[in-house]
Structure 1
Amino acid sequence: MARRRVVVDIFIPCFVDQLYPETGMNMVKVLESLGCDVHYNPAQTCCGQPAFNAGFFDEAREVANKFLDDFSSDISEYIVAPSASCVGMVRNAYQDIFVKSSKLVKYRAMQKKVYEFTEFLTDVMGVTSFPDASLLGRATYHDSCSALRECGIKAGPRALLQSVRGLELVEMEDNETCCGFGGTFAVKFESISVAMAEQKVENALATGADYILSTDTSCLMHLEAYIQKQKKTIKTMHIADVLASGW
């Protein structure tokens, strides 16, 4: 029986758009392979998380209002992003932004449609394995704070990765501990942030892994910077890039 085509709006976060565009393209590749009709609104910008976390609530509200306007189409059934951090912002922080707004009802309707990429695959599309993908090597998975604590994502990404041909998935110590990025935290508390990245990378290296994988490019960017500066041999990779590999 043919799979029903699902209409999806994609939200491409700032980090992906500016630094890792291939991750966004690979997400589209995977979604389309599953029969999704993928839409992209070129007017989209930021979710407002940097401003919100820094305490600039008026500026965050302005960006949130634009996001709401950009993604309030009745055509798409879902909004999917390759970032649990941004999804957590829209799902959770927007509740504070719109709680006394005339747009609350409009926001509530949109809120139900927003999913992180792997969460969409497992919880909406019912995809718990992706054997088309192949990547040779050993990998360990980093639970981003936003994925784990804001979105409740843990088992889904692991199930998908365990199905990738040629990939051995191993758990590192303290896999639920923060990598140290935290957006502006990495700027305000640089030494603490670097120390946390060091611990995360060392835990990953202790497993003998070739790759650190995650749902969030922001975490991976932070870890990659430490890895490159210290000339470590391990690599970072977003799960969308893994699932798009080998086919």
Structure 2
Amino acid sequence: MEYIRITSIEDPLFTQMHQLMQSIFPPEEVLAFDLWREPLQDPDIRVFVAVHEGQVVGATEYRYVQPLNVAMTDFTIIGQPGLGIGRFLYKHRERDLDQLASEAGQDILGMFAEIYNPYLVGELEFGGVAPMNPIVRREVLSHIGYQRLDFPYVHPSWGNDGEAVDGLDFSFMPKDEELTELSGQLIVDFLTWYYRVLPNKPQAWLDMINTLQHTPTVALRPL
């Protein structure tokens, strides 16, 4: 299996990846094809695909925010069971992020993720691929060290329609397993940076950010 970075929507592997995303995720979670052009050219956004026998069978997007010394995993897609795709993507991403932090003279604090909470919203369908079942994914992410940040979370729809998307937990995987909380301001700084590309922010998101700005620390809880 190969771990290949995508930097252009003209890359045939990107077309495969986007089709895989559409077959897996709800429509409001998938950025339109043409809107990927600029993000893929952003050096801070790292999009890699797992290629098996010439076909994209998995993908991951993540970024390292050097000024905050944190990363964010945007998505991980496992397109087929039985190939070890999840572990393959996880280990390659981990090595890449450690290298980026090392080049900046830092030990990375950890990585954020938005994690579906099927216990809040009931059944979620993800393309009929068993490894992408939200309960399975949640347990796997818990096993590798993700913890839920203890506040009600919403995010702006990637459709940029001003709608709030709920049913997820904002979570963090600390490099130091003894870490039990994060600064509320760090979360605000990161989310403000992360969603800067979406001008139409829902009021629920603005209210959440305002509350976090007045919250000194946010506890990390088990998923």
TM-score range, shorter chain: 0.3 to 0.5
User: Which structure has the higher relative contact order (CA within 8 Å, separation 6+)?
Assistant: 1
TM-score, length of structure 2 as denominator length: 0.34
- Structure index of larger Rg: 1
More helix by share: 1
